[in-house]
Amino acid sequence: MNKYEVIIYWSEEDQVYIAEVPELPGCLAHGVTQEAALTSVQEAIALWIETAKEFGDPIPVPKGRRLIYA
């Protein structure tokens, strides 16, 4: 599993769950369940990264969650 943030939400219009990866422009997938959308988007992430490597495009480093200590 990758370490990119994935946002999953229900699309009323399409009647499916949409999974988006904000750090990878245009990288999204869908599924009839949240689990299916997550599985599909993992495949989409792999393809996004593979394509970026082929074209020599930069691949963002996963931001992850940052903790700030005061």
Model pLDDT for residues 20-58, shown as the tens digit of each residue? 999 999 999 999 999 999 999 999 999 999 999 999 999
Which domain covers residue 17, as residue numbers?
7-55
Domain assignment of residue 16, yes or no: yes
Written as one string, the DSSP assignment of the chain is ---S--EEEEETTTTEEEEE-TTSTT-EEEESSHHHHHHHHHHHHHHHHHHHHHHT---PPP--------
Q: Which residue(s) pair with 30 in the sheet?
A: 18
Domain assignment of residue 50, yes or no: yes
pLDDT for the residue numbered 63: 87
pLDDT for the residue numbered 31: 98
The number of folded domains in the chain is 1
pLDDT for the residue numbered 66: 60
Domain assignment of residue 30, yes or no: yes
Confidence of residue 70 (pLDDT cuts 50, 70, 90): low
Domain assignment of residue 68, yes or no: no
Question: Which residue type, as a one-letter code, is found at position 43?
Answer: E
pLDDT for the residue numbered 40: 98
